[in-house]
Amino acid sequence: MSPFFAVVSLILLTSALLLLPLVPAFAELHSKSDAVPLSVIQQHTGEIRFFADGFRTYLKGLGPTLRECVSSGTHATGTMPDGSEYLVLGRGSEALALPFREQNEFRPVMIASATDLLLPSETNFSKDIYSAGSVIGSTKNCYRAILAEEDIRLGRESSVMRWVHAVGEFSADPGCRLYGRVSSDTGIRLSAECSFLRLNAPYIAIGPEADPALAPSQIPAGATTPQRLFHDGDFEIRPSEVFQGNLVVRGRLRIGAGARVCGSVKSEKELLLEPGVSVEGSLITASIMRIGPDCMIRGPVIAEHTALLQKGTRCGTLQNPTTVSAPNIQVEEGVVVFGTLWAREQGQAVASL
């Protein structure tokens, strides 16, 4: 091989190796196959009722069939424009005895009922359910999604995989597992041993004893811009003390029984509210928070690790709903949250903490 040819070969080979990683880059630059802006949620706001609203719109085409079935008292089957099979029931109680049920499973059909829908037990409903009245589910069912224009009641140890929305009250018997979004325009009532992720309603009551009507209609809002106080170590607000201002504590914070905080508080470490504390602002901790019993919090409650809410505690009011959010939440019977209760990883209603 001549030296000239060797040098040229080396240069060409080196250039080819240098350009090799750029081949896909040039191809993409030319073809622009992935050149659209990243998708940014512009129009909806993470609204909890997003899927329910979409399902209601989707069902509009079934309106005439629903009216026909309710007047004739019969049922009808068919296929939606997208190919999904549906079953429309004129009488909701028919669901208990229809041939669509096979071996503890409904054939994967969407169910729409013109009246109250009574569902059999130990059944897997793998398509969405709609009722123009209420939905009353028996025990140990598994649902994909439910929308009801009135109340929804889930039987003991039932599960919901995606979402539920009730225009009336939603209630879940003990041991239910609510994996997706649960919302109601009226209220939500969970029994003990129910697990949840995201709940939203004017009130969310845990246990049969929790009474939203007992909550004060208003907790006074703190001053608009109260003074901010810092404390670098652990800190305690004494029992029955009235604390004015926003408080930021870099250590643990304990708020004594019956104390009143006219402002918001934040702690870097554990935050403990003893019985009967009232907070007019928000409660934030980067760690674990234990609230109660019988505390009243006006603003958002945020724990970056775990929030424990004891019986009698009220978060928000009917007029000023709020959010309670943490990766892990345990709520004792007797707690009422007005607004949103959102556990990112695991929420649990318990009889006693």
Q: What whole-number distance in Å separates Cα of residue 170 and Cα of residue 165?
A: 8
Q: Which of these ranges, 120-128, 135-143, 149-157, 278-286, lies near another protein under the rule CB under 8 A?
A: 278-286
Q: Is 99 in the site for another protein (CB under 8 A)?
A: no
C-beta of 109 vs 272, nearer to another protein: 272
Pick between residue 142 and residue 302 the one whose CB is nearest to another protein.
302
Residues 17-76 that bind another protein (CB under 8 A): 21-22, 24-25, 27-29, 31-38, 40-48
Sequence-distant (6+) residues with CB within 8 A of 305 are: 285, 286, 287, 288, 326, 327, 328
* 200 touching another protein, by CB under 8 A: yes
The candidate with the shortest Cα–Cα distance to 287, out of 344, 248, 326, 339, is: 326
The token pair at 241 is: 């003390």
CA gap 98, 78 in Å, rounded: 15
- Comparison of 171 and 200: residue with beta carbon closer to another protein: 200
How far apart CA 221 and CA 217 sit, in angstroms, is 12
Three-class SS of 211-255: CHHHCCCCCCCCCCCCCEEEECCCEEECCCCEEECEEEECCCEEE
Q: Could you tell me which stretch among 8-16, 115-123, 128-136, 246-254 binds another protein (CB under 8 A)?
A: 246-254
| Tokens (6 digits) for 345 | 């990883």
Q: Which is nearer to another protein, 144 or 252 (CB)?
A: 252
With CB under 8 A as the contact rule, which of the stretches 64-72, 156-164, 208-216, 240-248 interacts with another protein?
240-248
When asked if residue 228 is in the footprint of another protein (CB under 8 A), the reply is yes
CA distance 55 to 75: 21
- Is residue 15 within the footprint of another protein (CB under 8 A)? no
102: contact with another protein by CB under 8 A? no
Closest C-alpha to 296, from 311, 315, 309: 315
Minimum CB distance to another protein, residue 170 (Å): 16
Residues near another protein, by CB under 8 A = 21-22, 24-25, 27-29, 31-38, 40-48, 200, 221, 224-225, 228, 230, 232, 246-248, 263-266, 281-282, 284, 286, 298-300, 302, 304, 316, 320-323, 325, 339-340, 342, 344
